[in-house]
Structures are given as structure tokens and as C-alpha cells.
């Protein structure tokens, strides 16, 4: 994951426009999904995370240039935060995730597929967690690579896995595939959502293999039902 800044993203987009090199689909937001994943509604999940019992020692920024306003909150069986969504396009090189499309591209992810290769951001829904710091240690909270995450945006639920780690002081990032599934512009240089994204990470969960999205949906639906029952 890269150290993204609002200024750099805007400058990159402006340079491409000026040069007439902006990809044809860069300004078009993908059509929203018509149906959510699983049987638990976004409204029911959001009703359980209206208030925050802060478990992080401090708060996170959503970008390099913003102030720290986002806490990590605790619930029975899960942690959550409400933030923006920057696009993580790291891992295996694909048509839309590579050095040409992503100014911050890195060819690796913190957690790997069952065959040892990095994850594929373009096809696998995954979420980025902040690297361990004095603010918060995700592993101490029962969050691990391959753990299930319910990502909620615009009344839709997308199940993802914990797939990468990011800067110690920034929160709110997910893979190209996660954004696209939720109807968020997935372009790594110009896309993302400024706000309105809720991330619910289920403690002590793990999808096996990590690259199986169907396994994430199945386990996620089960854990979401437990979450509703226990909170």
C-alpha cells in the first residue's frame, strides 16, 4: 500500500487530462450492484454500529493531508471504523493494476494467496488495515490476514478479506475489486469515495483459501448473523 496524498492524486489526474492521456473509463463511475452479498442487510448492520466504543489509543487520518478524526471502535465479536475509501491496486499485475495505471503501485501485498503469490486487487475484494503502531495493533484485537470484513456503502454489503497493511496513521482503503463491487470508481489514481464507508472486521475469523471470494461471502454471512445476535 502506498502513502497516498490528495495533492498527488489531483496532480496526477490533472497531468493526464492535460496530456489527453486519461483512460476513457477513468471519469465514469461503475454502475452500482443491483443486489448485495449475503442475507444480512446493510441497514441491520449499520444499526449495530451507530455508536463507538473506542478501542484505539488515538485516531487515524483518512489521507496524508487530513487531520486524525477516525477511531477504531469495538463491538462483541468485531471491530469497526467509518471512513473514506482509497483504492489499493497492489499485488499481482493485471490490466487495471500496474505501474501505468497506479502511480503508487507495489507488486506485493502483506498477505498472500495459498500458492504464495501476492493477492490480485483487480479481482479479489480485500481491505487494508493500518500497520501496527501506538495507535492500534490489529493482531491484538483478533484481526488477522484473511479475516472477514463486511464493507458497507450506499446501502450495499460487500464481503472482503483483510489483504494488506498500510501506513501507521492512515485508515480507509480497499482493493480495486471491493470498490467496483460497491459502485465506487475503482481507478487507483482518481477513484475512491470521500466518505460514507463502514468497515466491520470480524474477530478471529479467517477465510481459507484467502483468495476464495465465495468462501468469504459464506463465512461473512454467517458471522454477520452472529454479530446481529450478539450486539
Average pLDDT, the chain: 89
Query: Model confidence over 198-220: pLDDT tens digits?
Result: 999 999 999 999 999 999 999 99
Q: Which three cell numbers stand for residue 30?
A: 461503475
Say if residues 7 and 14 touch (Cβ distance below 8 Å). no
SS (H, E, C) 161-229: EEEEEECCCECCEEEHHHHHHCCCCCCCCCCCEEEEEEEEEECCCCCCCCCCHHHHHHHHHHHHHHHHH
Helices (H) and strands (E) in the chain, counts: 4, 7
Q: What is the mean pLDDT of residues 89-102?
A: 97
In degrees and rounded to multiples of 5, residue 198 shows phi and psi of -110, 130
pLDDT band at 3 (very low <50, low <70, confident <90, very high): very low
Tell me the pTM.
0.86
pLDDT at position 24: 40
Single out the residue of 211, 156, 214, 205 nearest to residue 184, CA to CA: 156
pLDDT at position 36: 77
pLDDT > 90? residue 19: no
Choice between 35 and 101, residue whose per-residue pLDDT is larger: 101
Query: Model confidence over 20-58: pLDDT tens digits?
Result: 433 444 334 343 344 579 999 999 999 999 999 999 999
Query: Model confidence over 114-173: pLDDT tens digits?
Result: 999 999 999 999 999 999 999 999 999 999 999 999 999 999 999 999 999 999 999 999
Cα distances from 229 to residues 78, 142, 147, 184, 206, in angstroms, run 12, 19, 20, 30, 20
Q: What is the mean pLDDT of residues 83-105?
A: 97
Q: Which long-range contacts (CB under 8 A, 24 or more apart) does 131-135 make?
A: 131/165, 131/166, 131/167, 131/168, 132/168, 133/168, 133/169, 134/57, 134/58, 135/56, 135/57, 135/58, 135/59, 135/60, 135/168, 135/169
Q: How far apart are CA 133 and CA 170, in angstroms?
A: 11
pLDDT > 50? residue 9: no
Could you identify the residue written with the cell 475503482?
186
Amino acid at each position: 500500500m502506498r502513502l497516498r496524498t490528495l495533492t498527488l492524486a489531483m496532480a496526477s489526474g490533472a497531468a493526464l487530462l492535460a496530456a489527453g492521456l486519461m483512460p476513457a473509463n477513468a471519469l465514469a463511475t461503475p454502475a452500482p450492484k443491483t443486489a448485495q452479498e449475503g442475507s444480512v442487510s446493510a441497514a441491520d448492520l449499520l444499526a449495530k454500529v451507530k455508536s463507538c466504543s473506542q478501542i484505539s489509543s488515538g485516531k487515524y487520518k483518512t489521507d496524508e493531508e487530513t487531520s486524525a478524526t477516525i477511531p477504531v471502535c469495538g463491538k462483541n465479536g468485531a471491530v469497526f471504523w467509518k471512513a473514506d475509501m482509497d483504492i489499493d491496486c497492489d499485488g499481482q499485475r493485471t490490466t487495471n493494476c500496474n505501474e501505468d495505471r497506479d502511480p503508487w503501485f507495489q507488486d506485493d501485498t502483506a498477505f498472500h494467496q495459498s500458492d504464495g503469490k501476492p493477492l490480485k486487487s483487480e479481482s479479489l475484494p480485500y481491505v487494508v488495515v493500518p500497520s501496527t503502531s501506538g495507535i492500534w495493533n490489529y493482531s491484538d484485537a483478533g484481526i488477522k490476514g484473511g479475516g472477514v470484513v463486511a464493507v458497507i456503502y450506499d446501502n450495499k454489503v460487500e464481503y472482503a478479506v483483510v489483504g494488506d497493511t498500510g501506513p501507521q496513521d492512515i485508515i480507509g482503503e480497499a482493493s480495486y475489486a471491493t470498490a467496483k463491487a460497491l459502485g465506487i470508481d475503482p481507478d487507483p489514481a482518481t477513484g475512491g469515495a470521500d466518505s460514507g464507508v463502514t468497515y466491520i472486521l470480524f474477530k478471529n475469523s479467517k477465510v481459507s483459501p484467502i483468495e476464495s471470494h465465495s468462501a468469504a461471502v459464506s463465512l461473512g454471512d454467517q458471522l454477520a448473523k452472529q454479530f446481529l445476535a450478539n450486539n
